[in-house]
């Protein structure tokens, strides 16, 4: 039964199938791959025959598949997920889910934690291969050997790779070269640090066609990040996350003398950095000091480590921005720099003032949970006051809450 704000009640079975379908989509929208419950699609489809018919005839309801292969605990032993029922029944359930999506573009998350037998993992993945031609977004957490080497992905736009346990005898056939529309890649530094794309060529993404790159991991070697940037010759945005270290953190020694050359990227316009440790701050500092990004328009930095890290990082930012200023002076053109966003910054306002004075092109400043040792009103006045050169500047705006930022920036920050 559904009750409107006017207190009028309607029996669910009196609702048109189109309305019921929209309600189902709304209910299932918030479901996450991390929820420990049954997918709501399955629950709704088992309430009654009418609901089942409506659910099965709503393709968008089945357009996202979270396939997590993990053991379930029974008594004192573990039994693999696919052996809970007849194997063919398990695979048919996956196939039936995807068949109900009709011709709608798909989002597929395939996660294997390494406990399910390898042959079962390969067999389950094989069952979704016919549907990958419609897949727009694909996340793979599994062994590289679980993947076939001839995937056809004509609609794939976004790919997330977290692969491990590589074979000693990898296939030489290209795997992601048949993804002509791929533009976004999320990857772990473990793959980059160990040069595993060279060991297993068939899982090497087509870096040159990427426009958005997300790198997550624990390596402290700045060269890993810089070289990844340079592989993506048409990159527009890059997001780098160095989370809190864990047992998987890489502690590889590196020689910065090998990085004397500066890395200049011709197309990168947006850079986002999120750091959670003091060691990560060192890595980010080296990245900023070596990177040359003449078309940078948007910079977002969030640091969750001790407050004194901010000044070290921002000095590196100033070094990078000085390069922009010198380049614009030489060319006679204004810098591209337009937006600066900082999260949890704790430093003297003089650092920020220097950037504002050097770059009249900045039109938006986002300061989220920051402390510059001056009052809010004084801070706003310093940011929004007109620059002396009126011909080269627009009125600046600022925000102190993410909800108050322009829509595009909200998408970038929350997506990061």
Asked whether the beta carbons of 61 and 96 are under 8 A apart, the reply is no
Residue 194 lies inside a defined structural domain of this protein: no
The DSSP call for residue 416 is -
Query: Is 231 a domain residue?
Result: yes
Q: What distance in Å separates the CA atoms of residue 154 and residue 182, rounded to the nearest whole number?
A: 9
Please report whether residue 198 resides in a domain: no
> Are residues 288 and 330 located together in one domain of the fold?
yes
The pLDDT of residue 359 is 82
Q: Which domain holds residue 152?
A: 63-184
Q: How far is Cα 415 from Cα 411, in angstroms, rounded to an integer?
A: 6
Length of the chain: 416
Domain boundary among 184, 203, 219: 184
Asked whether residue 262 falls in the same domain as residue 307, the answer is: yes
Domain for residue 2, yes or no?
Answer: no
Q: Are residues 180 and 218 in the same domain?
A: no
Provide the number of structural domains found in the chain. 3
Pair (172, 293) in one structural domain: no
Q: 239 and 336 share a domain?
A: yes
Residue 193 lies in a domain: no
Identify whether 389 is part of a domain.
yes
- Residue 159, phi-psi category: left (phi > 0), alpha (psi -120 to 50), beta (remainder): beta
DSSP designation for 181: T
Domain match, 255 and 298 both: yes
Query: Is 80 part of any domain?
Result: yes
Residues 195-208, buried b or exposed e (16+ Cβ, 10 A)?
A: ebbeebbbbbbbbe
* pLDDT beneath 70: ranges in the chain: 1-14, 30-38, 70-91, 165-175, 194-204, 245-262, 305-308, 320, 323-334, 386-394, 404-416
225 plus 124 within the same structural domain = no
**How do strand 270-275 and strand 291-292 relate by DSSP bridges?**
unpaired
Domain identity same for 173 and 233: no
How many C-beta atoms lie closer than 10 Å to residue 35's C-beta? 11
Residue 333: predicted pLDDT: 64
Domain shared by 154 and 89, yes or no: yes
Last residue of a domain, one of 132, 167, 184: 184
d(CA 288, CA 300): 12
Q: How many CB atoms lie within 10 A of CB 107?
A: 16
For residues 83 and 119, membership in a common domain is answered with yes
The pLDDT assigned to 107 comes to 92
Domain of 302, CATH number, reads: 3.80.10
74 shares a domain with 27: no
Q: 287-303, pLDDT tens digit by residue?
A: 887 888 888 899 998 88
Q: Are residues 296 and 358 in the same domain?
A: yes
Q: For residue 219, what are the contacts with CB-CB under 8 A and spacing of at least 6? A: 189, 190, 192, 193, 250, 252, 283
Residue 365 lies in a domain: yes
């Amino acid at each position: 039964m559904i009750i409107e704000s006017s207190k009028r009640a309607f029996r669910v079975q009196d609702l048109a199938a189109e309305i019921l379908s929209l309600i189902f989509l709304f209910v299932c929208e918030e479901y996450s791959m991390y929820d420990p419950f049954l997918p709501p699609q399955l629950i709704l489809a088992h309430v009654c025959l009418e609901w089942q018919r409506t659910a099965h005839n709503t393709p968008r309801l089945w357009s996202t598949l979270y396939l997590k292969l993990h053991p379930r605990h029974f008594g004192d032993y573990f039994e693999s997920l696919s052996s809970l029922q007849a194997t063919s029944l398990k695979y048919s359930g996956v196939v039936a889910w995807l068949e109900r999506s009709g011709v709608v573009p798909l989002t597929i998350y395939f996660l294997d934690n390494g406990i399910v037998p390898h042959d079962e993992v390969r067999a389950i993945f094989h069952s979704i291969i016919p549907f990958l031609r419609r897949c727009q977004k694909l996340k793979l957490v599994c062994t590289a050997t679980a993947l076939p080497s001839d995937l056809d992905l004509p609609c794939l736009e976004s790919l997330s790779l977290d692969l491990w346990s590589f074979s000693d005898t990898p296939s030489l056939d290209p795997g992601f070269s048949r993804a002509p529309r791929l533009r976004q890649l999320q990857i772990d530094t473990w793959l980059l640090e160990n040069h595993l794309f060279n060991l297993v060529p068939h899982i090497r993404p087509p870096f040159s066609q990427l426009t958005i790159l997300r790198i997550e991991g624990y390596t402290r070697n700045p060269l890993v990040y810089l070289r990844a940037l340079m592989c993506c010759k048409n990159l527009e945005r890059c997001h780098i996350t160095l989370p809190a270290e864990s047992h998987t953190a890489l502690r590889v020694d590196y020689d910065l003398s090998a990085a004397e050359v500066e890395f200049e990227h011709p197309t990168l316009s947006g850079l986002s950095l999120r750091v959670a440790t003091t060691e990560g701050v060192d890595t980010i500092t080296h990245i900023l000091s070596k990177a040359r990004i003449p078309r940078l328009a948007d910079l977002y930095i969030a640091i969750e480590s001790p407050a004194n890290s901010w000044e070290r990082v921002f000095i590196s930012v100033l070094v990078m921005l000085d390069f922009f200023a010198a380049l614009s002076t030489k060319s006679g053109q204004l810098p591209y720099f337009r937006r600066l966003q900082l999260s949890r910054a704790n430093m003297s306002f003089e650092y920020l003032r220097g950037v504002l004075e050097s770059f009249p092109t900045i039109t938006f400043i986002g300061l989220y949970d920051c402390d510059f040792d001056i009052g809010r009103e004084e801070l706003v006045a310093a940011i929004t006051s007109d620059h002396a050169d009126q011909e080269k500047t627009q009125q600046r705006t600022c925000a102190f809450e993410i909800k108050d930022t322009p829509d595009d920036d909200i998408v970038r920050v929350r997506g990061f």
